[in-house]
Amino acid sequence: GQQLNQSPQSMFIQEGEDVSMNCTSSSIFNTWLWYKQDPGEGPVLLIALYKAGELTSNGRLTAQFGITRKDSFLNISASIPSDVGIYFCAGSAGAGSYQLTFGKGTKLSVIP
Amino acid sequence: SAVISQKPSRDICQRGTSLTIQCQVDSQVTMMFWYRQQPGQSLTLIATANQGSEATYESGFVIDKFPISRPNLTFSTLTVSNMSPEDSSIYLCSPRAGSGAQYFGPGTRLLVL
């Protein structure tokens, strides 16, 4: 089945630093989604990507849909303490299949 | 995005019992997904529930263990049957929007003793 490799697994960064995380797939996806999950909460959708090469921003967050359709990255600029949480990438192959495959998550810790 | 609520938000149950989790969406959605998130893990799809048809289960999940109802386009239930400690997880419903974006409910935290 499809697999997503998400890296890094965890990050400790200083407040104000930029963050980058990525996901790679063994197969092609038609949709990439990035979520953030806080403790005790459900995942919250941050950015959705639908076209190869697409670059989309949401405030300090920027995500890109890789041109090969097998990868995506998420950047967070000027991190703040509330950025702490677990970030998940998810992909959908589409073409009638809407199930999402999730990465294992990147746990982000921000040091004030 | 849709407003999604789940009940209960958490529960502690005895092994061998069953728990039904409710998911309510404030708008009509065609596709509803149910996920499980085991402690410290990522999300795993249990089944896809479309209104008016039988739910489709992923490998490793069966209808007898996780029966699902989808009586209308705004509501769905997932039952965790004959529970064991291995069923301790967060269970999340996830409606799919027409735009292709997929949102998640707040989750139901289940602990089975």
**What's the pLDDT at B79?**
98
DSSP string, B14-44: -TT--EEEEEEESS--SEEEEEEE-TT--EE
**What's the pLDDT at B97?**
73
Within 10 angstroms of residue A63's Cβ, the number of other Cβ atoms is 24
Q: Which two tokens stand for residue B76?
A: 């769905």
Q: How many helices (H) and strands (E) does chain A have?
A: 0, 11
Task: Say if residues B11 and B108 touch (Cβ distance below 8 Å).
Answer: yes
**What's the pLDDT at B96?**
83
**What's the pLDDT at B30?**
85
**What's the pLDDT at A25?**
93
Residues 15-44 of A with CB under 8 A from B: 31, 33, 35, 40-44
- As a whole number, mean pLDDT of residues B51-78 equals 92
- As a whole number, mean pLDDT of residues B46-68 equals 92
Q: If 0-12 CB within 10 Å is exposed, 13-18 middle and 19+ buried, where does residue A97 land?
A: exposed
Q: Are strands B89-96 and B68-72 parallel, antiparallel or unpaired?
A: unpaired
What are the pLDDT digits (tens) for B16-46? 999 999 999 999 988 899 999 999 899 999 9
**What residues of B are in the A interface, CB distance below 8 Å?**
1, 4, 31, 33, 41-45, 48, 58, 90, 92, 94, 96, 99-107, 109
**What's the pLDDT at A2?**
65
Within 10 angstroms of residue A86's Cβ, the number of other Cβ atoms is 18
Stretches in chain A below the pLDDT threshold 70: 1-2, 94-97
**Where would I find the beta strands (DSSP E) of chain B?**
4-7, 10-13, 19-25, 31-37, 43-50, 56-57, 68-72, 75-80, 89-96, 108-112
Lowest-confidence region among A93-97, B54-58, B63-67:
A93-97
**What's the pLDDT at A102?**
94
Task: Say if residues B113 and B13 touch (Cβ distance below 8 Å).
Answer: yes
Q: Residue B52 above 90 pLDDT?
A: no
